Amino acid sequence: MLTQTAEPATTTTSTPPPPPVDPAARRAVGQASSVVLVTLLMVLTVSCVLILLALRRRSRSERKRRDAASPADAWAESARRVGLEDHPDIPREPGTE
């Protein structure tokens, strides 16, 4: 014989269903998110352009400084940059042995 068990009486408070969303409000949120996305893309683009301009200006000033130096100074600087300034097989200045 089947016996039914009585379930304990519980008082649950159910949350009311959410109010219907206005389609115009949904479109406004969608437009706002696209505005934010476009703004972020513009900020990133401007930042990249400014960084590239700064790097270009820096390399141009280094090139001017390097061209203004004597060939011996330029050779010594490039050897120093590579780490060969103290190498015994390489002369310190061009033309010296």
CA 80 to CA 67: how far, in whole Å?
Answer: 17
Domain positions in the chain are 27-80
The answer to whether residue 55 scores a pLDDT higher than 80 is yes
pTM over cut 0.85: no
pLDDT band at 50 (very low <50, low <70, confident <90, very high): very high
Chain segment 34-48, per-residue pLDDT in tens: 888 999 999 999 999
CA 14 to CA 41: how far, in whole Å?
Answer: 44
Chain segment 81-95, per-residue pLDDT in tens: 777 666 666 665 555
The answer to whether residue 9 scores a pLDDT higher than 70 is no
Query: What's the distance, CA 24 to chain centroid?
Result: 35
CA 78 to CA 69: how far, in whole Å?
Answer: 12
Tell me the CA end-to-end span of the chain in Å, nearest whole number: 113
Conformational region of residue 37, where left means phi above 0, alpha means psi within -120 to 50, and beta covers everything else? alpha
